[in-house]
Amino acid sequence: MPRTLITGGAGFLGSHLCDRLIAEGHEVICMDNLLTGAVANIEHLFPEDRFTFIRHDVTSFIWIPGPLDYILHFASPASPRDYLEHPIHTLKVGALGTHNVLGLAKEKGARVLLASTSEVYGDPLVHPQPETYCGNVSPIGPRGVYDEAKRFAEAMTMAYHRAHGLETRIVRIFNTYGPRMRLADGRALPQFFGQALRGEPITVYGDGSQTRSFTYCDDLVEGIWRLLMSDYPEPVNLGNPEEVTILEVAREIIELTGSSSEIVFEPLPVGDPKVRQPDIERAERILGWRPRVSRADGLRATLPYFRERVLAESGQPGGANP
């Protein structure tokens, strides 16, 4: 039975990956310091013999007794609000945390998959973004703490691959959504769902003409699984190439929720990328992967989760514990 460590395993994507690996027959060790993750995302796995949760911060030395076959390194704040609130920790988890993970992998002979991000492309000057594009990132801008940490993490991962022959995989994840996102993480979709369901104004930053490409979590998990099982060490973009403006997404969520919320415009945060769309030719060629879930279907599938979160927040019956 393969034995797999997932750092950040109690987070949004980490917890979906725990589910997938358990379903694939792995023994799963989930490590999380619960800075932005939540026990609620993984507690359904507690009765499972093949599942262990360890509360630990990967920026401190990691040790796992026994063999390890795979490590998925997903620990990091990932929403702009979170990494602006925890700038030093975000840098540390990308740098020191990644170094600890790679050191553990080398010791155990495990294959490592690094969760990287479309943020390595910064505010891109090439559109859509292929993996060969080196990006347009300000090291000292507010997003630099995340972008540069992930760029360093990629550099460190490739160095361990080249210097030590470690088996490594790098996924560059584009905006992903679905159940288990934190309602208050500040990202566009949780924010818009929360505002629409409470009947509050929807806050669109700038004029809303900036674009993103949103991937439903199930599609992403499938792509990550295929990448983990592949023999491809270079970075691979995973994202839905369907590009949309933020204003359009705000309108879609108002329509889907049947909300009477109006749209209000607020200042665009510094460094907010104007466009983002993955070139997924590599993922299609190497992994035979492309997203299957349309935005309309994915948003519909996510609505009941956010409805429950908003109910829980207001203390009304029907809402589960936070």
Contacts with ligand UDP, residue ranges (CB under 6 A):
79-80, 175, 186-188, 191, 203-205, 210, 212, 246, 268-269, 272
As a whole number of angstroms, the distance between CA 96 and CA 153 comes to: 9
Question: Is the distance from CB of 215 to CB of 172 less than 8 angstroms?
Answer: no
Q: Is 205 a catalytic residue?
A: no
Nearest-approach distance from CB 177 to ligand UDP, in angstroms: 9
The catalytically annotated residue of 70, 121, 146, 216 is 146
Longest CA–CA span in the chain (Å) reads 58
Nearer to ligand UDP (CB atom), residue 186 or residue 241: 186
For ligand UDP, the closer of residues 75 and 249 by Cβ is 249
Is residue 248 a contact partner of residue 234, using CB atoms and an 8 Å limit? Answer: no
Helix (H) or strand (E) holding 52: strand 51-55
What is the Cα–Cα distance from 68 to 232, expressed in whole angstroms? Answer: 20
Q: Shortest distance, CB of residue 199 to ligand UDP, whole angstroms?
A: 16
**Euclidean distance between CA atoms 275 and 124, whole angstroms:** 7
Instruction: Sort residue 236 into left (φ over 0), alpha (ψ -120 to 50) or beta.
Output: beta
Minimum CB–partner distance for residue 176 and ligand UDP (Å): 10
Asked if 51 and 10 touch (Cβ cutoff 8 Å), the reply is: no
- Copy the structure tokens of residue 263: 């749209």
H-type helices in the chain, by residue range? 12-23, 80-85, 87-92, 98-108, 144-164, 188-198, 217-229, 246-257, 281-282, 295-313
Nearer to ligand UDP, 69 or 85 (CB): 85
Nearer to ligand UDP, 100 or 211 (CB): 211
Pair of tokens at residue 20 = 């997938």
- Which lies closer to ligand UDP via its Cβ, residue 62 or residue 197? 197
CB 215 within 8 A of CB 167: no
Residue 144: C-alpha distances to residues 32, 83, 84, 119, 278 (Å): 23, 10, 10, 9, 20
The least CB distance from residue 210 to ligand UDP, in Å, is: 4
Contact 189, 249 (CB under 8 A): yes
Contact 77, 35 (CB under 8 A): yes
Distance in Å, CB of 22 to ligand UDP, minimum? 28
Closest distance between ligand UDP and the C-beta of residue 309, in Å? 16
Nearer to ligand UDP, 70 or 193 (CB): 193
Hey, which residues are catalytic here? 146
